[in-house]
Structure 1
Amino acid sequence: MTAIFYAACGGFVWCSFLWAVGIVGCSAARKRYRLRPRSPLATAPASSVPGVSILRPLKGLDTNLYENLESTFTQEYPNFEILLSVADENDQALPVARELIAKYPHVNCRIIVGEEIVGVNPKVNNLVRSYREAAHDILWVIDSNVTVHSGTLARSVDALSGSPNAKKRIALVHHVPFAVVTENKIGSRIEEAFLNTNHAKMYIAINTVAVDSCVMGKSNVYRRSDLERVNGSLKPVPTSGSQPGTRGLPAFARFLAEDNMIAGALWHELGDRHDLSCDIARNVVGNMSLSDYIRRRARWIRVRKHMVLSATLLEPFTESVVLSLILAWSLNTLFAVPPLLSLAAHFAIWIYVDLDVYASLAGHPLPAGQRWSFMAAWAARELLALPIFLFAIFGSQVTWRGRNYTILRNGEVERAEQTRSWFQRLRQPKNYDPLSTEL
């Protein structure tokens, strides 16, 4: 009985802690995102503000590509350039890029064609030439499926400059992803419900507490001079010193999650910190099926498993379904609270908090016309969280941008040959010679 009592106490404390984290995320979202003041840098003379090079890697026709790219051409900031990177001279994104350059002749924009192979990460290979040719020290790396407000750059430079009284220097400014669905597909809807509620809540909470680096690479602003001092080893760099060997962006081509590793390197190797501006990165989600969603979530769980194993193993116990069962059992054991009552209260408050986070980021409550479809997607996300985790945790291979990779220790990757499942191998005749197009 004593063991059960202590287990119930532990469960109650754990649930209370997770609820506190959720409230922190909700409260911080209200304070940071419901009011977005205009930065004075937006109207300052060009000579008085630091220059910024905007790096956008392109590959194919992403959903809403024209509007996504145009949002960087219309930034209210007096001193910036845009570098659009494509690996292939026949890439379908090139006509879109050229049309925008013709539409905004006053914007300093260049297209850089041709990748440089510095590692296994295709995004880094695509970006490395732009990284080296950028005219300014401050870099804003932003994915092609992201659109931003016209005041984002000015507010981000404000945040990067930091407060004069800050104890730690700011080395990176990032933006919370906010999903925008353009196609009514089940995977797209679930991705929207996930990014705009639970993910945003936890992401904001972790960055508010700021006990460690936690960054997604949809839209990041940092200094090239800082990146040139680190290499992803996460070992502290001596004051004014640099890491040995390959440094800068090419050093992170060995990682699949290069964005997270760059942020971690600036945090741990330089001892600097990150900040969130009051802007969001509108992540335009296109045609995502349910299987696409599952593979996407599984891919990043497998990456995190090799980077932060202990934190990854705790993930199921932070999700609402598992947490509700722990809370119901703990309250029933300690205070004889009926399980159905605690389950109902838990989910009612959890949903309220999630929708409040949505309203803070979107700038308005969930539209009435989308309420039931959004809540159905939200429920599907919560119910799928544990099965996807169990599927992902037992494996180290992922598919990203049409290529197969094996995740190694510390999040590094290597190219992997495509493998067939046991069912596919069983069905294949012994004398069957597959065509190269099928591989």
Structure 2
Amino acid sequence: MGDVEVGSDGTGAGIGAGIATVLAWVGIIWYMILWGILLLGLRSVQKRYCIRPRSPLSSPPPPDDPLSVPGVSILRPLKGLDPNLYENLESTLLQEYPLERFEVLFCVADAEDQALGVVNELLAKYPRVDARAIIGERVVGVNPKVNNLMEAYDRAKHDILWVLDSNIWSAPGTLARSVDALTQDSTPRIGLVHHVPFVPPAAPLTTWGARVEAAFLNTTHAKMYVALNELAIDSCVMGKSNMYRRSDVACVDGTLKHHPPITPAPRFGPPNENQTGLAAFGKFLAEDNFLASALWHELDVRHSLSCDVALNTLPPNMPLSAYIARRVRWIRVRKAMVLAATLLEPLTESVTAGIFTMWSLKQLGVPVPSFLFCLHILAWITVDFYVYAALAMHHIPSEQFNTFCAAWLLRELLAFPIWLRAVVGSEVEWRGTKYQMRKNGEVDRVDPDLLAKPRWKRSLWRFWTALGFVSSSPKGGYTALPTVEHQ
């Protein structure tokens, strides 16, 4: 009897050791793959952003062929006074592109919006630019940015649309180079051009929240973003600054399933059950990502990452809590879109990947000196620093190096706790409004009456709603907005 028990324990221990060995080999292989991706990101950034040539489209078109330069409508959705708003919007009016071949539409939902004052100043300063304000929104879903864009989307003169967030500044040649990328001969053809967000080193960041956000965007995000777009296995688009054709968007419906050409919904008029065009993405919070994925999967077109960056203006006094809240929000949004990738995200971070690798080496009997983890972190920050410098196109001033290293290290240490907090919830807050994420990436607005209830009651309500015992009607707590409401 005793021998059987010992044998049983030994078998169990052997199975456990075998599983640990398999996990250890998985860890080593993953570490090598991860470093391959990191180095690909570094090399791609250095190659892509080393030079930004002047486009032929920046020059006036031939007098006998004025339409040889593609027309572009630039859409800028606005809400309130963002930092550096005047300069950001002015950069759109100063694009090196024939004046008669582009227009700028500033979109505000409310005639009382403070951003209109800035817009009116710019319209008076640049009367020769075809620019105007579009006031009023059309509610097509829960996403306020899409609602704000709908009127301008329909009224735009040109098929090529360039949509930029209000906190983005663009270099004068960005428009011309982006049109070059969109219209290049390729198979499959290019359906969308986007730009990696970048916070310039000269940005006056006075708080650790702003510095950590800048460190994230300029290193971890940029490196992985460029690497994944270089691999081009699937769509990977953040937003901020996207260019695409309205005629393409009119033929997608957000199902992300390839289908034969469909008849676009009328630009004006009542909606149909199967919405197409921009209105189809009003039900998503990450509308840019879903629109890009729809173009990729439904029309079988590809994306081009421009050699320009989208200079991202951050609030200089952004608190650390705001950075954490922003990261929690977008991890929860990604969890609803790509669950598997979100769950594996910690293994792409320097601290957790390093710990997993050190454990794997020990399991395989490899000596792990105490300084090996430090070497791992040193190698990682070195790659990230060179990514940062390549995007800036110049050396980072030495007086900023210590601040960068401290912000980078703080971001790396916060990565796993932030991820852990994000994956255990599904409620997000954006511009003062709370939303509930669905599993398919859609969102519902949380009813204010529900917000007044204790947290445990809200959690209990979400639990019963998920089981289907109660509905998510407005009285139930989650407001499903009407599909379309014309003004």
> Highest CA radius of gyration, 1 or 2?
2
SS in 1 for 2:371: helix
User: Is contact 1:182-1:284 (8 Å) kept?
Assistant: no
The Cα of 1:104 is off from its aligned counterpart by: 1.0
CA RMSD of aligned residues (A): 1.7
- Cα distance in structure 2, aligned partners of 1:369 and 1:58: 35
The Cα of 1:338 is off from its aligned counterpart by: 2.1
In the other structure, the counterpart of 1:83 is 105
Say which of 357, 364, 369 aligns to 1:327. 357
In the other structure, the counterpart of 1:435 is none
In the other structure, the counterpart of 2:322 is 292
Question: Deviation per CA, 1:69-100, whole angstroms, max 9, x where unpaired?
Answer: 01100101112100000111111111111111
The verdict on how the C-alpha distance between 1:2 and 1:119 changes in structure 2, with shifts beyond 3 A counting, is closer
- Cα distance in structure 1, aligned partners of 2:181 and 2:365: 47
SS in 2 for 1:411: coil
The Cα of 1:333 is off from its aligned counterpart by: 3.6
Say which of 277, 280, 283 aligns to 2:306. 277
For the pair 1:179 / 2:199, whether they are aligned, the reply is yes
In the other structure, the counterpart of 1:169 is 189
The Cα of 1:417 is off from its aligned counterpart by: 2.6
Number of aligned pairs? Answer: 423
The verdict on how the C-alpha distance between 1:185 and 1:6 changes in structure 2, with shifts beyond 3 A counting, is same
TM-score (norm 1): 0.93
- Cα distance in structure 2, aligned partners of 1:302 and 1:252: 18
Question: Deviation per CA, 1:243-294, whole angstroms, max 9, x where unpaired?
Answer: 9721111111100000000000000111111011100001100032111111
In the other structure, the counterpart of 1:381 is 411
User: Is contact 1:235-1:269 (8 Å) kept?
Assistant: yes
In the other structure, the counterpart of 2:119 is 97
User: Is contact 2:191-2:295 (8 Å) kept?
Assistant: yes
SS in 1 for 2:40: helix
Query: Gaps spanning 5+ residues in structure 1: where?
Result: 426-439
For the pair 1:228 / 2:258, whether they are aligned, the reply is no
- Cα distance in structure 2, aligned partners of 1:398 and 1:112: 29
User: Is contact 1:332-1:339 (8 Å) kept?
Assistant: no
1:395-414 superposed matches below 5 A: 395-414=425-444
SS in 2 for 1:168: coil
User: Is contact 2:251-2:261 (8 Å) kept?
Assistant: no
TM-score (norm 2): 0.84
Paired amino acid for 1:252 = F
Say which of 166, 169, 175 aligns to 1:144. 166
SS in 2 for 1:57: strand
- Cα distance in structure 2, aligned partners of 1:302 and 1:329: 29
- Cα distance in structure 2, aligned partners of 1:86 and 1:283: 20
* Percent identity for Structure 1 against Structure 2: 56
The verdict on how the C-alpha distance between 1:271 and 1:227 changes in structure 2, with shifts beyond 3 A counting, is same
- Cα distance in structure 1, aligned partners of 2:320 and 2:78: 25
For the pair 1:253 / 2:273, whether they are aligned, the reply is no
Say which of 334, 350, 359 aligns to 2:389. 359
- Cα distance in structure 1, aligned partners of 2:453 and 2:395: 45
The Cα of 1:219 is off from its aligned counterpart by: 0.1
For the pair 1:391 / 2:413, whether they are aligned, the reply is no
Question: Deviation per CA, 1:77-126, whole angstroms, max 9, x where unpaired?
Answer: 11210000011111111111111111111100010111111111110111
SS in 1 for 2:447: coil
In the other structure, the counterpart of 2:260 is 238
In the other structure, the counterpart of 2:54 is 38
User: Is contact 1:115-1:128 (8 Å) kept?
Assistant: yes
